[in-house]
Amino acid sequence: MLSKKQITFFNSLKLKKYRKKNSLFFAEGQKIINDMIASGLIPKYIVTTIENLSDQYPTIELITAKQNDLNKISNLKTSTDLFAVFEMPENYIDFNVLNKNLILFCDNIQNPGNLGTIIRTADWFDINQIICSDNTVDAYNPKVVQASMGSIARVNICYVNNDDFFNKIDKNIEVYGSFLEGENIYHTELKSSGIVVIGNEGNGISENMLKYITKRISIPSFSKNSLTSESLNASIATALICAEFKRRTEI
C-alpha cells in the first residue's frame, strides 16, 4: 500500500528541484504510461488502484493505493488509476548530426501545455531533437509530460545556454526564426535541415537571439481584417512551420 512517506516523496516530484535531485519524473494514465514504456523508458515505481496488474508489469515494483490516496499524488483534475515514476533519460546533443536534421530550439517557452504540445508535434513530424534555452519550462514538469502524450519518451530534449549552444554549432546550419516581416514560409526556400527557433509566448524570440537567426520567415495571416489576431499560439506556429518543412520533403 502507498505509504505516507511515499505520498510525500511522489508529491515532491511536482517540483523541478526534487525532480532534478532524484533524476525522476512522473506520468499518469495507462495510455501515456504504456506508450512511454513501449518507447523504452523504465518505470521505477507504479502506483495503481487496479488489482492484479503484476502480469502486465512483471518487472516493476507495484504499489497499490486507494483512489483517495492516489488522488493525493495526482497532478490531474480527474486523477486516473495509474501513476508511474520514471528515471529521466540521459539526453545529450550530438553536434555531429545537428546539420543533418531539422531541429527545434525553444527560446524561453513558459507554458507547460505549449511545450508538451510542441514535443508531441515534433514526434509526429519525425523531429527527434528539441533544444531548450535554460529559461524554458522544465520538460519533466507533469503538465508538459501529460501534454506530450508520451512523446517525451521519444524526443531528445536538452537544456542549454543560448550563447554557448549557438557559438558551438556549425556555421553552415540555417537558423530559422518566425517574424511578422519575415519571408512568407509558403513561398520561400526551405532547406531539409536546420534549426527552427520558437520564441516566447508573449515576447517572441529574445533580443539576444536575433544575431543567430540566419533566415527570417513568417506564417502569413490570411485575414483581410486589420483587427485579426496578431499572432498565433506558439505551439500552433511551430506545427505550421514543421508541416511546411516536412511537406516539401515529401513532394
Q: Interface residues with a second copy (CB under 8 A)?
A: 35, 38-39, 113, 117, 120-121, 123-126, 147, 149-151, 154, 186, 219-225, 227-229, 231-233, 235-236, 239-240, 243, 246-247, 249-251
Write the DSSP string, 186-239: TTS---SSEEEEE-BTTTBS-GGGGGG--EEEE-------TTS-SS--HHHHHH
Supply the minimum distance, in Å, between the C-beta of residue 82 and a second copy.
16
Residues 129-167 as b/e (b if ≥16 CB within 10 A, e otherwise) read: bbbbbeebbbbbbbbbbbbbbbbbbbbbbebbebeebbe
Whole-number minimum distance, CB 124 to a second copy, in Å? 5
Looking at the Cβ atoms of 24 and 155, the one nearer to a second copy is 155
Q: Are strands 62-64 and 43-48 parallel, antiparallel or unpaired?
A: parallel
Residues 224/189, Cβ–Cβ less than 8 Å: no
Contact 34, 96 (CB under 8 A): no
To a second copy, the closest distance from the beta carbon of 59 in angstroms equals 19
State which residue, 108 or 162, has the beta carbon closest to a second copy.
Answer: 108
Nearer to a second copy, 65 or 198 (CB): 198
Q: Name residues whose C-beta falls within 8 Å of residue 244's C-beta, 6 or more positions apart in sequence.
A: 185, 186, 190
Minimum Å distance from CB 97 to a second copy?
Answer: 16
Please say which residue, 168 or 248, places its beta carbon nearer to a second copy: 248
With respect to a second copy, which residue has the nearer C-beta, 93 or 236?
236
Q: How far is the CB of 96 from a second copy (least distance, A)?
A: 20
CB of 22 to a second copy, least distance (A): 26
Contact 192, 245 (CB under 8 A): yes
Nearer Cβ to a second copy (9/201):
201
20 or 31: CB nearest a second copy:
31
Backbone angles phi, psi at 131, to 5 degrees: -105, 135
Q: How far apart are CA 11 and CA 14, in angstroms?
A: 6
Residue 157 has, within 13 A of its CA and on its CB side, a CA count of 27
Nearest approach, Cβ of 69 to a second copy (angstroms)? 26
Other Cβ atoms less than 10 A from the Cβ of 79: the count is 18
